[in-house]
Structure 1
Amino acid sequence: MPSESSSTLAVTGASGKTGWRVVQEALARGYRVKALLRPGSEVPEGLQGAELIRLELGDQAALEQALAGVQALVIATGARPSVDLAGPLKVDALAIRQQCAACAAAGVKRVVLVSSLCSGRWLHPLNLFGLILVWKRLGERWLEASGLDWTVVRPGGLKETEENLDAQGIRFSGPDQQESNSIPRRLVARVCLDALDSPASIGRIIEVTSDAGVEPLSLAEWLAIQPQPV
């Protein structure tokens, strides 16, 4: 990655609860940010300074145009509970494949995907919502096979709290090591951006939860003691 001050970052799902925090954190680090929003979504507070681009992820030409001149993409899209049980398939799998194809066409090499703890698990209560964990894993697999420089961040239960974040230590692990616990969305956003600054995160699935009792450790410090991915 070039230095933040010279880099343009795109964030899909920028109107979502994690996505807008990624945008905010990226702006604070000096990135130029393209915030990609669905046409009908409301713009949350705090996106001032980002370039807002409204499009449907299924519109490949519009997506490729939006990604022009971008050095990295953070995918923070995610299906929301609804009566449409095909939503997770569309958003967490098919839309990931579409975004990978658009990155390849636009020359965007670096991608960080926000997924979920227990991705790929069949026997899990979350799958009552359209097999969401099954489709999230398929989306991950398509990213892994894309030829892009990818990182998957799998957070635990997502919390809205913005208080006492500095007291939270992040618990990092490789894939399928954690099954429960939670993490504030703001910390997930920071981990995504830390991954962009950490070449050792490329080609890795990183699970994250947090707790006040966890020893503080940065992503770079954790990666430094991990074996190379095979």
Structure 2
Amino acid sequence: MGIKLAISGASGKTGYRVAEEALKEGNQVRLLIRPNSHLPDNLSQCDLRRLSLADETALDEALEGCDALVLATGARPSADLTGPARVDALGVRQQIASCKRVGVKRVVLVSSLCAGRWLHPLNLFGLILVWKRLGEQALEQSGLDWTVIRPGGLNDREENLEKEGILFTGADCQEDARIPRRLVARCCIEALKTPSSIGRIIEVTSDPDLKRITLQQALKTINALAS
């Protein structure tokens, strides 16, 4: 039996894939999107809430009754350099606060490889990696059952993914490899089903030559190497 899962940023390229993968697993999904955002047609019949993250009442109502939240919100590169601060730090904090108010305990955050690094080209877009790390830290300190997924460079490739392996590592182990958004979405759903992922930052990249393993298997290896 599935869970009732809220997905914020569900109109984004990663977010709508999270929604699709959640539905495949038999979950009930509630999609949280901006007022003017558009969804793919195959998600148009889902429970949909259009809101601003700054609207506490609307956010609380959207999360009420949900078992978990996947935060797939993220600032997009633009001329507005305040976006990363508003979305990746403040926006994450607003959603965490709402989860605590309404009793949503389980949260998965989609962040980014190299979060927290200052010397990185992505920081030309409003210090985006710095703000992403502040969002991660807010979640780590929240008291919720959290998992952070840090994907590498994202692409929209959909072909041959069933044969592609994922490299799962702990924090600050990877730098520049890539991963399709579809596989990131699957990682989020897998994390929700993997209790040992709670309290972990998990970096993910992929390669067709990698052996396919589960997140649970990977975490056992990560723990063994750390002990």
Offset of residue 170 of structure 1: 0.2
Q: Counterpart in 2 of 1:14?
A: 10
1:29 aligns with 2:25: yes
Q: Counterpart in 2 of 1:136?
A: 132
Out of 198, 209, 212, the position equivalent to 2:208 is: 212
Q: Counterpart in 1 of 2:179?
A: 183
Q: Which structure 2 residue ranges, 5 or more long, are not aligned?
A: none
- Percent identity over paired residues: 61
The 5 A counterparts of 1:81-230 are: 81-227=77-223
Per-residue displacement from partner, 1:105-148 (whole Å, max 9, x unpaired)? 01000000000000000000000000000000000000000110
Query: 1:139 is paired with a residue of what secondary structure?
Result: helix
Offset of residue 51 of structure 1: 0.6
Distance of 2:43 and 2:80 partners within structure 1: 29
Distance of 1:45 and 1:218 partners within structure 2: 31
Distance of 2:46 and 2:219 partners within structure 1: 30
What code does the residue aligned with 2:112 have?
A: S
Q: Which structure 1 residue ranges, 5 or more long, are not aligned?
A: none
1:62 aligns with 2:55: no
Q: Counterpart in 2 of 1:77?
A: 73
Offset of residue 200 of structure 1: 0.1
Offset of residue 227 of structure 1: 2.2
Q: How many residues align?
A: 226
Offset of residue 218 of structure 1: 1.0
Q: Report the TM-score when normalising by structure 2.
A: 0.97
Offset of residue 49 of structure 1: 4.3
Q: Report the TM-score when normalising by structure 1.
A: 0.95
What stretches of structure 1 move > 4 A for 4+ residues in a row? Answer: none
Is contact 1:13–1:37 with CA below 8 Å preserved after alignment? yes
Per-residue displacement from partner, 1:163-219 (whole Å, max 9, x unpaired)? 000121001100000001100000000000000000000000000000011111111
Distance of 2:26 and 2:163 partners within structure 1: 25
Distance of 1:46 and 1:209 partners within structure 2: 27
Offset of residue 48 of structure 1: 4.1
